[in-house]
Amino acid sequence: MTTIPTPSYSHFEEDVIHQIITQPLPASADLFDVADACAAFVCVLVDTHDDEASNALCGRLLQALNQFRHLCDEDLPPHLIEQLIAGENVTSCIPDCWQETATLVEYAQALTQALLSNTLPPPLATSLTGLLHDVVYLLAEFVKEPYLTVH
């Protein structure tokens, strides 16, 4: 009987990390695309235990957050506006005191820069990575919440 070798988890993990680090965001990426990319970066980052890979993921995340911040200041394209038209009132995933998208992006950027400093004790870096994950996920969900009304 022939056994088919299966890739180990670490090999799979390395492939995912390599793919996510090396694949650039397209120039045509809109706000939702960049939000999804940021969420993908932190999703992989939170499960990465290799310092080099974590640094590369933080670098890519910081680039994406910078692009995200820029896109927040731009007019939304019509296809995104259609998705943001509210039907029923939805309770926001973000408390009223954090309703400013730019502030949340700045928080995520600051956390990412702190992790990139490589000066944090490992338990603190792990906690801040978890916090970064949560902030980015909330941010990605928040920008997609319907909030526009049709006149």
- First and final C-alpha spacing in the chain: 69
Residue with tokens 């692009």: 67
Q: Name the DSSP class of 97.
A: G
Token digits of residue 133: 């994950």
Q: How far is CA 74 from the centre of its chain?
A: 19
pLDDT class of 87 with cuts at 50, 70, 90? low
Residue 85: strand, helix, or coil: strand
**Highest-confidence range of 4-18, 86-100, 114-128, by mean pLDDT?**
114-128
Q: In degrees rounded to 5, what are phi and psi of residue 88?
A: -90, 160
Residue 148: strand, helix, or coil: strand
Per-residue pLDDT tens for 30-69?
A: 999 999 999 999 999 999 989 999 999 999 999 999 999 9
Q: How far is CA 103 from the centre of its chain?
A: 15
Task: Report yes or no: 42 and 112 within 8 Å, Cβ to Cβ.
Answer: no
pLDDT at residue 23 in the model: 87
More confidently predicted of 87 and 61: 61
Which residue type occupies 105?
V
pLDDT at residue 151 in the model: 55
pLDDT class of 150 with cuts at 50, 70, 90? low
Which residues have C-beta within 8 Å of that of residue 56, sequence separation ≥ 6?
17, 21
State the burial class of residue 147 (Cβ atoms within 10 Å of its Cβ: 0-12, 13-18, 19+).
Answer: middle
pLDDT surpasses 90 at 17:
no
The pTM for the full model equals: 0.83
Residue with tokens 């706000």: 31
